[in-house]
A and B are shown apart, each in its own frame.
Chain A
């Protein structure tokens, strides 16, 4: 007998023919389909009281919901999503036991860095940043640009926000390099590691950042900085890993052979030949990583990351066009500075060892 009085589901015949009708009806007992609210089609069917005649043209895809109509033992698609959710919630606690202590240093680092960047007065901070720029890039023009950009941002009272964003980027990019370079080296040394890592990197790169924010929110409290720290690192680590791997693989095989022929150990080869020669590529990866963490820092403000992203969000939420535009400009300026400074460092490395 069909599950709903007077209502025919399209795929009834399959279960009838296969002799599974008893299994279907037995599955949920008498209270068929009561596990959740009825779908719109169910309601429509109820009100008209007629069997919904479905022409061949409108035959629905045998999806979970449609099959559920015919057979109660088959779950609805929303059971699948709730199942995923409860599954995640079940392992959440045990996962937290492992992940929490591991990631705690990230929270500390972010908190400390945020505190330091804001506690140091501007008349020390801005010259300090200019000094770092000069040390890295050796270009007076670049130092001027840095002074100009930070001067402007401070002038429009965005100094604190800028420093917060910068603090987050510094910490996250540093950790990305710290983890990404060794991963890249491991990939370059073993084809199997590379085969395993490449799909993971592809996934991290293509997954919309909002998607991995969701499980992170369940895992950690929104008040913890490591929540957005992890999101940024996952998103931004990809280029440095990829380019480290590529850079080491691209090192001239003749040179590697010479290193072997003179009896270098693999350690000497790695630190004496491969990494120095891959450095231009690794630096290009660091540049990309910094740019991507800047992009992510805006999205991360959805989960309480402080900084310019908060202003952008305010612009969207309360339709404050001016605030949104100005903070957007601030992010662009930061991006330009970070890009130019890392590229200047890259150019210096390149000029010191042209091939």
Chain B
């Protein structure tokens, strides 16, 4: 894994309406979304977005409906063109691309998974999976092996001859993922890919994505409105509200240091023990300490540790990374970190704020 930046978004604005240029002036002068709608009848979609998406990692863009997250992801493959700003993929400004270059980008370098699956109802699962190679003009014989391989990888072995409507929602989305993987692109855009699935299947799919990610290290851009999902999947978390970025960074960091009341309310509601990792609450030290109750991995979550300690808050653990000590965890620190600092304790307030 490298820390290269795969996708850079610079000063991106999107305004919907008849005269976006005019509205852009107002927005740059500081006019907000509600005023712009009331006074000029233009909708502010995205407001000065700057994001660096690291290669081989998962970037999650989270926001409630209307926050502009689906608009943002569509700028990455130019299903929507921005009003102003830059989108750089591998250092190339994709806004300067010709139609042909753009098609090449969409065929070979980026693939997309959709909320409503968007499979072709008149093609078999196998043909759907092989969409990308078939667009290039490859015959079914040529892409069949590749497509079957990915179908098997997502757990749909032997279903290739079915039609999409014969499959359940979860299975259809597996086809959607297999379709994206078959294109062999480095970047996978996932637009609320699991939001239409029921909770148990959603967990399955999240685990599948984590597995695939460990194996393939694609640059995944994942859109969701579900904070638990975003904390589970994200290496880099971007929180959007009304078209601008409220906070972005490492999810653990956002959770422990929310910079905005909006986010505080948001994070006050989640199961912190499951989300927080040992490395986020440990004290960094390589010194030996007396009375160690055991060793834990730096990437374990707090929930597993609480279970292991049997609830005994006097314990102290050595935190290990790749066989070396990287820190010490006091159970008292752990317990303290479970209570949000300064956040509203009333979950209703969070909902109202949203």
Contacts and interface: CB of A to CB of B under 8 A. Distances in A.
Given A254-B114, A277-B121, A353-B122, A260 B131 contact: no
B105 A263 contact: yes
A29 interface: no
B135 A268 contact: yes
B107 A263 contact: yes
B131 A257 contact: no
Nearest to A266: B99
A40 to B, nearest CB: 61
Interface in A300-355: 352-355
Nearest to A254: B118
Interface residues on B, range: 20 to 34
Given A260-B79, A262-B132, A263-B106, A277 B118 contact: no
Given A261-B77, A261-B112, A262-B107, A255 B118 contact: yes
B116 interface: yes
A70 to B, nearest CB: 53
Contacts of A276: 122
Interface residues of A, number: 20
A265 interface: yes
Contacts of A264: 103, 135
B106 A255 contact: no
B106 A260 contact: yes
Contacts of B122: 276-277, 352-353
A273 interface: yes
B190 to A, nearest CB: 12
A262 B111 contact: yes
Contacts of A252: 118
Contacts, number: 62
A262 B105 CA distance: 9
A279 to B, nearest CB: 8
Q: Which of A260, A263, A265, A277 has the most CB of B within 10 A?
A: A263
Interface in B99-130: 102-107, 110-112, 114, 116-122
A273 B118 contact: no
Contacts of B47: none
Nearest to A264: B135
A102 interface: no
Interface in B64-108: 77, 79, 102-107
A258 B114 contact: yes
A262 B112 contact: yes
Q: Which of B79, B105, B122, B132 has the most CB of A within 10 A?
A: B122
B121 A258 contact: no
Nearest to B166: A354
B192 to A, nearest CB: 12
Given A262-B111, A263-B103, A263-B107, A257 B120 contact: no
Nearest to A279: B122
Contact of B106 (A262, A277, A353, A355): A262
Q: Which of A258, A260, A277 has the most CB of B within 10 A?
A: A258
Contacts of B120: 255, 258-259, 273
10 contacts: A254-B118, A257-B79, A261-B112, A262-B107, A262-B111, A263-B106, A263-B135, A264-B103, A277-B121, A353-B121
A-B residue pairs, 4 tightest by C-beta: A263-B106, A263-B107, A258-B118, A261-B112
Given A258-B119, A263-B106, 10 more contacts: A258-B112, A260-B106, A261-B77, A261-B112, A261-B114, A262-B131, A276-B122, A353-B121, A353-B122, A355-B165
Interface of B: 77, 79, 102-107, 110-112, 114, 116-122, 131-132, 135, 163, 165, 179, 183, 189
